[in-house]
A and B are shown apart, each in its own frame.
Chain A
Amino acid sequence: MIAAKRVLPSIAVIALIIGVWWAVVVATASVVFPTPWQVVTGTVELVRDGTLFEHIGASLFRVGVGFGLAVIVGVPLGLWMGWVRGAYVTLNPLFQMLRPISPIAWIPIAILWFGVGNVSPIFLIFLSSVFPMVVQTTAGVHTIEKRYLRAAANFGVSRATLFRQVVIPAVLPQIIVGMRIGLGVAWLVVVAAEMIALRSGLGYLIIDSRNAGNRYDLVIAGMIIIGLIGLLLDGLMRLLEGLKVVRWRYAH
């Protein structure tokens, strides 16, 4: 009952938007803009001929590789910058300057360097998610409470133990925050990257549906699917917050 009460308002809003959308399309007798029902039939068409899953697979593949590389590079780099003062002082200004540049601005350079295959979007996704990873991890190291580092020093543990049992677990919640932000941005960027001269992916689906005969039903279908998958990916990252080793951070 309570759960139903909580989701009821948002369902009502979505229903209202669909209702208004439908009414406006019918009232204006638009031939280009689809009704909600046309979007549904368009989606069914994409599922039937199998192209939808190809596009989803292609986008997820690029995000998976680019984001994976960002984690592999960003976490150690962030730990290093957080721990070694000199590394931070040297690299932080550079990263702060690169960070506000939208990955979209890198598209021409990506195409110049890597052509129009899979490498370009993977590179763009890597760029978009590596900065949040580095920034969050570095901040995580900087905010480790002194008392824990002092305790580690008191017990005279080895450097390996210090990192494995104190630094990394202390920073892990921040790393997960970085991953959430990074994956969110990666999903935004992959769609934009795929609009540029690629033959697959959800971004391609959208731009191709428009170019090939103004299929706006498929454009909107693609948009909704992007939204749903984005929600799903964020949900997956949220699952990480429930891990036993980080629950201390969220327990209070």
Chain B
Amino acid sequence: MPTKDMSSKIRVDGVGKSFATEEGKLHVLDSISLEVGDGEIVAIVGPSGCGKSTLMNIIAGFDRPDRGSVSVDGVVQCKPSSRGILISQAGSVFPWLTVQQNLMFGLNGSEHAEKKQLADHYAEMVGLKGFEARYPHELSGGMLKRAELARALVVKPEILYMDEPFSALDALLHLRMRNELLRILEQERHTVLLITHDVEEAIHVANRIIVLSIRPTTIQATFDVPFAHPRKLSSAPVQELRTAILRELGVDSYST
């Protein structure tokens, strides 16, 4: 992927973060710098506890770094905005609103009928047509994720911040949601920053993969994923890349 040709959408510059604990200061992030191009899909993989979510919260504007800065389109990111929507593992579809009300939630200012039309359009896009009047507790886990995705898409965000978005789903649904996401990203252009512990998911979706190391958390390696979609995950080059990434993560069992 010609990342150098793309204008930089997100720029993370020397970001560091520590938390005060009972045993003293805990350095979670240590001078992280990275760039995400406009329209690029970048995955960040790393072992659990390496501060991936902390990094995501800082990049999306929910948290401030102790050192360094994050800018989006050259403007320093200091608070979250609907230009970049965060989708996290726990999910945040409001349980007290119907699917349609959830989808209309973030649409500020427009006419009610217009909002409704947009909401219905995106409900259909993610395969929730006919479920608009349902409440979240009446939906399955996969449908709930679809609703969350649709609620993010309806405000036409430039960036999707996805923090282990499908990790709570079973393997089959996980795969299906990834395909769904790729299908949507073919129709609509979004810059995507995906955080995952799942190497296969990263290779399936991303143009570029950043591997984080733990203690201190720094960028250990970066891999381009030069395969066209749809990707055949069992092909030899994909498996080779997977092995290389796993080796960076300290898992060697696949190298034999």
Q: What residues of chain A have their CB less than 8 Å away from a CB belonging to chain B?
A: 147-148, 150-151, 153-158, 161, 165-166, 169-170, 172, 244-249, 251-252
Contacts and interface: CB of A to CB of B under 8 A. Distances in A.
Nearest to A249: B95
Given A157-B106, A165-B94, A165-B97, A150 B62 contact: yes
Nearest to B86: A154
A154 B82 contact: yes
Given A155-B155, A166-B94, A169-B96, A248 B137 contact: yes
Given A147-B90, A248-B135, A248-B137, A157 B96 contact: no
A14 B143 CA distance: 50
Nearest to B91: A147
A157 B108 contact: yes
B106 A251 contact: no
A170 B90 CA distance: 17
Interface residues of B, number: 24
Interface of B: 60, 62, 79-82, 85-86, 88, 90-92, 94-97, 101, 105-106, 108, 135-137, 155
A248 B137 CA distance: 6
B88 A147 contact: yes
Contacts of A246: 96
B92 A158 contact: no
B137 A154 contact: no
21 contacts: A147-B88, A147-B90, A147-B91, A147-B92, A148-B94, A150-B80, A150-B92, A151-B86, A154-B60, A155-B85, A155-B108, A156-B82, A156-B106, A161-B108, A169-B94, A170-B96, A172-B96, A246-B96, A247-B135, A248-B96, A251-B137
A158 B109 CA distance: 10
B95 A248 contact: yes
Contact of A153 (B80, B94, B96): B80
Nearest to B85: A154
Contacts of A158: 108
The 8 tightest CB contacts between A and B, nearest first, are: A155-B106, A248-B95, A151-B92, A169-B96, A251-B137, A147-B92, A154-B80, A156-B82
Nearest to B95: A248
Contacts of B137: 247-248, 251-252
Given A150-B92, A165-B97, 13 more contacts: A147-B88, A148-B92, A150-B62, A151-B94, A154-B60, A155-B85, A155-B106, A155-B108, A158-B108, A161-B108, A169-B97, A245-B96, A247-B135
